[in-house]
């Protein structure tokens, strides 16, 4: 009897996992996931094993590049301790891209976390902005 109940629970747990996986698959359908999968074009300026960077379609500065993790993290809020390497690599990618773009001396890195902060695409990303002067505080 005990064994029977345990088995049922295992099946239910497996079902939950499958549902969770399906949801993550659904979340992967952001426009940025399509760019990662090369399903839609983008002006890619940098790529490594964990990160991808491409020019923003609606640039807010002469240099406006989006730096994204290949892993699906909807917001920085979803990052965990195991994402430490990834988060560090995104920052180092920003430094390399700024150098490559000739703006290493003055650039701004922006991350909007959550709709209230202006996030529209729920695949975590940094905006690398440069080539004009910036005000502070930001709007």
Closest CA to 13 of 21, 55, 81: 21
Rounded CA-CA distance 99/122 in Å is: 27
Q: Does 119 bind ligand 5GP (CB under 6 A)?
A: yes
Instruction: Please report how close the Cβ of residue 32 comes to ligand 5GP at its closest, in angstroms.
Output: 8
123 is catalytic: no
**Helices of type H across the chain:** 2-27, 31-36, 84-100
Options 120, 133, 136, 139; binder of ligand 5GP; rule CB under 6 A: 120
Tell me the three state secondary structure of residue 90. Answer: helix
User: One of 15, 64, 123, 125 is an active-site residue; which one?
Assistant: 125
Q: Does 62 bind ligand 5GP (CB under 6 A)?
A: no
Q: Does 54 bind ligand 5GP (CB under 6 A)?
A: yes
Q: Does 112 bind ligand 5GP (CB under 6 A)?
A: yes
Q: How far is CA 33 from CA 54, 72, 131, in A?
A: 13, 8, 28
Residues near ligand 5GP (CB under 6 A): 31, 42, 54, 56-58, 66, 112, 118-121
């Amino acid at each position: 009897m005990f064994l029977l109940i345990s088995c049922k629970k295992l099946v239910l747990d497996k079902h939950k996992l499958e549902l969770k996986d399906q949801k993550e698959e659904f979340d992967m359908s952001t426009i940025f996931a399509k760019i990662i999968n090369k399903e839609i074009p983008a002006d890619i300026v940098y790529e490594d094993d964990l990160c991808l960077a491409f020019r923003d379609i609606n640039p807010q500065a002469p240099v406006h590049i989006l730096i994204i993790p290949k892993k699906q993290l909807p917001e920085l809020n979803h990052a965990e301790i195991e994402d430490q390497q990834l988060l560090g690599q995104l920052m180092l990618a920003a430094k390399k891209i700024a150098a490559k773009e000739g703006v290493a001396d003055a650039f701004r890195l922006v991350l909007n976390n959550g709709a209230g902060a202006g996030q529209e695409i729920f695949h975590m990303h940094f905006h690398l902005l440069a080539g004009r002067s910036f005000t502070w505080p930001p709007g």
